């Protein structure tokens, strides 16, 4: 079956199948993001290398997404979609069996080869099955499946303990995070529909545009990981310069820690020095994260500046690709 062949069959069955595929793909991303700290604890890599677990997946996506249209036409929706899910599933099992960080990254790349095609192919199948006047509803159903994935994550206990929302700061932060997710994902979805329905851009034109976002994501993840490691070392060095015998605050902290561990450890002096060193590392890491978030904010401001450079087309001038 080629991608040009109309898709027939149960709307409900096809909708459930593609929504489950979207849930699996999005859930995988959520699982990895949540588990990065545990992965680092298991394999013990430097903090600048743990980002390759995400970067490897996104780089594979960057390679596969532009080829998706051609592969759909070459093998047909059904075979290509099935193969992508099988590759993704097999790679997921291998990720669970990974014995080191390099093996995990390699399996994540294989997972990205399958996962990169799941969401665009699932969308194409859904739109091919629904008539054009029902595409908005189909897109809404697909989006519902995509956002449902993270709700099915993390543990044996309930995923969302509603009592935590009694904390006003936590509730406000969660609201901001929710609105950010709504804005990012709905904006991307809306823009893709606008390019196709209003501007009449081809799927290839719209997909290379989406490719730049994926490419930026992979580069940004790798860059931020390296920056976090370098900044942590720099801040640790600066803070350590102040932790000496001439600093009364440092000496006070050392004495307090030593008193707290005297009855529990054989060498309280050395243990207190070690604990103080760990505190220095934690403070350095916090400063490095703060610097990273400031860089992200600067990138948003840079993006705002680029938006201001966009020009409204003059009346009477035909836009390439427009009707």
Q: What is the pLDDT of residues 18-75, one digit of tens each?
A: 777 777 777 776 677 667 777 777 777 776 677 788 778 878 877 887 777 778 778 8
Residue 152 has pLDDT above 70, yes or no: no
The count of C-alpha atoms lying within 13 angstroms of the C-alpha of 159, restricted to the half-sphere facing its C-beta, is 10
CA distance 318 to 82: 42
Which letter does DSSP use for residue 316 in this model?
T
Mean pLDDT score across all residues of the chain: 76
CATH class of 11-151: mainly alpha
pLDDT, tens digit (0-9, with 9 covering 90-100), for 247-294? 788 788 777 877 776 666 666 777 777 777 888 888 888 999 999 889
Give me the residue spans of the domains in the chain. Answer: 11-151, 231-308
The DSSP code sequence of 239-264 is HHHH-STT-HHHHHHHHHHHHHHTTT
Q: Please tell me the pTM assigned to this model.
A: 0.52
Q: Which residues are CB-neighbours of 253 under 8 A, at least 6 positions away?
A: 276, 279
Question: Can you read off the two tokens belonging to residue 283?
Answer: 């403070």
CA distance 126 to 216: 28
């Amino acid at each position: 079956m080629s991608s040009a062949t109309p898709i027939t069959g149960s709307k409900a069955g096809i909708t459930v199948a593609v929504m489950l595929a979207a849930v699996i793909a999005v859930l995988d991303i959520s699982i990895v993001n949540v588990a990065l700290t545990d992965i680092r604890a298991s394999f013990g890599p430097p903090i600048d290398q743990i980002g390759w677990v995400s970067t490897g997946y996104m780089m594979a996506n960057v390679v596969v997404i532009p080829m998706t249209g051609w592969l759909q036409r070459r093998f047909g929706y059904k075979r290509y979609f099935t193969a992508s899910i099988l590759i993704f599933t097999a790679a997921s099992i291998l990720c669970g069996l990974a014995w080191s960080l390099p093996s995990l990254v390699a399996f994540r790349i294989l997972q990205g080869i399958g996962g990169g095609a799941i969401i665009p192919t699932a969308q194409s199948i859904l739109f091919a099955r629904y008539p054009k006047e029902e595409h908005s509803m189909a897109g809404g159903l697909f989006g519902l499946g995509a956002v449902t994935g993270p709700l099915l994550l993390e543990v044996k206990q309930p995923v969302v303990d509603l009592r935590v929302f009694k904390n006003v700061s936590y509730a406000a932060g969660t609201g901001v995070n929710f609105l950010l997710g709504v804005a990012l994902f709905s904006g991307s979805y809306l823009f893709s529909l606008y390019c196709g329905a209003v501007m009449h851009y081809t799927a290839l034109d719209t997909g290379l545009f989406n490719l730049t976002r994926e490419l930026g994501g992979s580069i940004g993840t790798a860059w931020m990981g390296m920056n976090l490691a370098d900044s942590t070392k720099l801040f640790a060095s600066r803070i350590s310069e102040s932790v000496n015998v001439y600093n009364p605050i440092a000496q006070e902290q050392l004495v307090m820690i030593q008193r707290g561990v005297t009855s529990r450890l054989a060498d309280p002096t050395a243990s207190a020095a070690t604990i103080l060193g760990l505190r220095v590392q934690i403070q350095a890491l916090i400063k490095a994260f703060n610097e990273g978030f400031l860089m992200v904010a600067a990138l948003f401001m840079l993006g705002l500046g680029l938006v201001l450079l966009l020009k409204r087309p003059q009346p009477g001038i035909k836009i390439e690709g427009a009707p």
